[in-house]
Chain A
């Protein structure tokens, strides 16, 4: 395992700036997730690290070595794709052994057996080793695909939405497993996804990317609690953060330059109306079982907050609102630190 460093890389396709001056260091043993919508430049960034694409500008270093011009085969990386493509005529065992049997590597068969068995154990697919790859469930197939990357010990694993083709339950299971395996092996992973839950739950650090530009890099907690700007704030959190123009909301101790308030759903409390200034009307209540999402109308703005499912609120009801710990944004959308008291 090793450091990977991207220095000021850019890549254009025709008129599209797929990646713009992107710098990122992935330290040894780190799980870095690039989070962004489709078309943000996530996959292009991965392909630049693999060598499947060459940057127009900038450099890629793996373990201190400049690999910018090196072909993919020499870069010591393993790639897991969104669509797992296993060899259908081979058993799980042979699928896992395949990367080690490459003529370029010449790994002795006994060592291959050991690596395959260890990997299968790690992924809980030991009992399936003799099965044909096509005789597996979707989750098992994706585990084998991940396992095929894990049997090798590359400098870095690159993963392109590897869980997105699985159903929700399996995805939740594999998220936890992948994180456990990464911690156990101390692997270095660069993972791209558009799913904020995957990013939040697995990443050591998240890089939020949009239009080819890396907007903020930080731990999930840093990104959630202290987003750099409005876009990053709206990218994480479900339901999404509420925004209110500052003139709708006389709020004490606002830092100078504040134009917009960002209010996370959990920081907006509601109570029975009691004639106060800050009152809204419940528009709709969405049941999720463990909690309700309450959609409110406040001076022509829609806000969402969370409520216990057994609190007796109903649509049409007037409620009193209360904020704590709002985020402050200036006219350009940058976050301003709160004034200290």
Chain B
């Protein structure tokens, strides 16, 4: 297993730059997700690491060794695609063992390795089955097995669950993560699905238009998004944005939304004026009759555990996640309060986060530890 380092990796196709100077390090054993919308450069990044695409500039190091221009087959990484193709004329064991057979390994060694791999994937009982008889999930497991059997230094996965339906995808996420915990292989996982990235990854890199906007743990990217793009991409429903044209200085303690003043955490970077955007997550909003920020309930979506209530305010629609026991009438006027410590601020021009003092997550965690 290995550490993967990517330095100033750049890829241009004619006029179009797919990846802009990406630099990151993936430590040995980390489950690393490359998350972003289609066309953001995540798959191109992965293909360069796999050796299926050559970078325009920059370098890729596998365990400290420069493999930038090495052939894919000589990199000792395993690639798992979305559309996995199994050999239909071979049974499960033959499919899993095929890469070893190609390497010229002996029959009894292959059998041993195939059995070990099948045990890890919990598909020993399927080894003699025809692949055409398998369910979608089992086919996916066999495809994984074929990648694992060589014991590569790293797994590169390109939306491997994209073709599965939602409920099953969630199940497979749990399974993939548990598999990772058993074998601790360095894994790069490309997805456009924030749930997959959040639930499986140790670290997430959020990509937008060829650039990495943020790298962090799932909770960091959620709690302290580096940009409006990240804040909007992660979270469902996404973070609410309230535009404040009045501007904000470093010593301000509140933002003005029309005639409503909303207290914000202390700003820890130097800035003079300039329009800002206040970001608030749906679960950090409560109804309060006394609140100055008011709006009209547009609709409530019951979800069992909670409900999502959309409130139309002068600043636009705001979505709040509230207890489903709270009675809500469509059309009624309500006041909204925000959890002060969890607010985010962004520069309206650049879309980048404005640094505020004492990240809420750190504060509350240390408080909880007592």
Residues of A within 8 A of B (CB): 168-169, 172, 175-176, 179-180, 183, 194-195, 197, 200-201, 220-221, 224, 236-238, 264-266, 284, 286-291, 293, 295, 306, 309-312
Contacts and interface: CB of A to CB of B under 8 A. Distances in A.
B368 A289 contact: no
A264 B305 contact: yes
Contacts of A287: 198-199, 217-219, 222
Given A266-B305, A293-B199, 10 more contacts: A172-B237, A176-B310, A180-B299, A200-B304, A237-B304, A237-B305, A287-B218, A289-B198, A291-B283, A306-B305
Interface in B244-268: none
Contact of B222 (A194, A221, A309): A309
B314 interface: no
A173 B165 CA distance: 20
A173 B361 CA distance: 30
A176 B365 contact: no
B234 interface: yes
Contact of A311 (B177, B193, B368): B368
A294 B234 CA distance: 20
Contacts of A284: 174, 177-178, 181
27 contacts: A172-B236, A175-B301, A176-B298, A179-B301, A183-B330, A200-B302, A201-B301, A201-B302, A220-B302, A221-B324, A224-B304, A236-B304, A238-B304, A238-B305, A264-B305, A286-B198, A287-B218, A287-B219, A289-B218, A290-B235, A290-B281, A290-B282, A306-B305, A309-B222, A310-B364, A311-B368, A312-B368
Contacts, number: 88
B302 A288 contact: no
A180 B305 contact: no
B369 interface: yes
Interface in B320-355: 321, 324, 330
A317 to B, nearest CB: 13
B195 interface: yes
Top 4 nearest A-B pairs (CB, nearest first) are A289-B222, A201-B301, A287-B218, A224-B304
A200 B166 contact: no
B222 A286 contact: no
A289 B310 contact: no
B236 to A, nearest CB: 7
Interface of B: 165-166, 174, 177-178, 181, 193, 195, 198-199, 217-219, 222-223, 234-238, 281-283, 298-299, 301-305, 308, 310, 321, 324, 330, 361, 364-365, 368-369
Nearest to B166: A195
Nearest to A203: B302
A312 B308 CA distance: 27
A112 to B, nearest CB: 30
Contacts of B324: 221
Contacts of B193: 168
A200 B237 contact: no
Given A168-B236, A179-B299, A312-B365, A289 B219 contact: yes
B205 to A, nearest CB: 16
A200 B281 contact: no
Given A286-B174, A289-B222, A310-B368, A176 B321 contact: no
Contacts of A221: 302, 324
A284 B324 CA distance: 27
Contacts of B330: 183
Nearest to B317: A176
Question: Which of A183, A220, A266, A287 has most B Cβ within 10 Å?
Answer: A287
Contacts of B302: 200-201, 220-221, 224
B222 A290 contact: yes
A199 B324 CA distance: 16
B198 A288 contact: yes
Contacts of B321: 290
B281 A312 contact: no
A288 B368 contact: no
A165 to B, nearest CB: 13
B252 to A, nearest CB: 27
A309 B283 CA distance: 12
Contacts of A293: 199
Contacts of A197: 303
Contacts of A290: 222, 235, 281-283, 321
Given A172-B236, A180-B298, A195-B166, A288 B195 contact: yes
A94 B304 CA distance: 41
B301 A200 contact: yes
A168 B195 CA distance: 11
A291 B303 CA distance: 15
A102 to B, nearest CB: 34
Contacts of B217: 287
Contacts of A201: 301-303, 308
B304 A289 contact: no
A58 to B, nearest CB: 31
A160 B205 CA distance: 37
Nearest to B367: A310
B155 to A, nearest CB: 19
A201 to B, nearest CB: 4
Nearest to A240: B167
Given A176-B299, A200-B304, A289-B198, A309 B219 contact: yes
A290 B322 CA distance: 12
Contacts of B308: 201
Contacts of A200: 301-304
A195 B361 CA distance: 33
A310 B365 contact: yes
Contacts of A238: 303-305
A289 B369 contact: no
Contact of B361 (A172, A264, A310): A310
Contacts of B238: 169
Nearest to A266: B305
A169 B308 CA distance: 14
B369 A312 contact: yes
Nearest to B37: A167
Nearest to B330: A183
Nearest to A293: B199
Nearest to B310: A176
Contacts of A310: 361, 364-365, 368
Nearest to A239: B170
Contacts of A169: 238
A168 B303 CA distance: 16
Contacts of B177: 284, 286
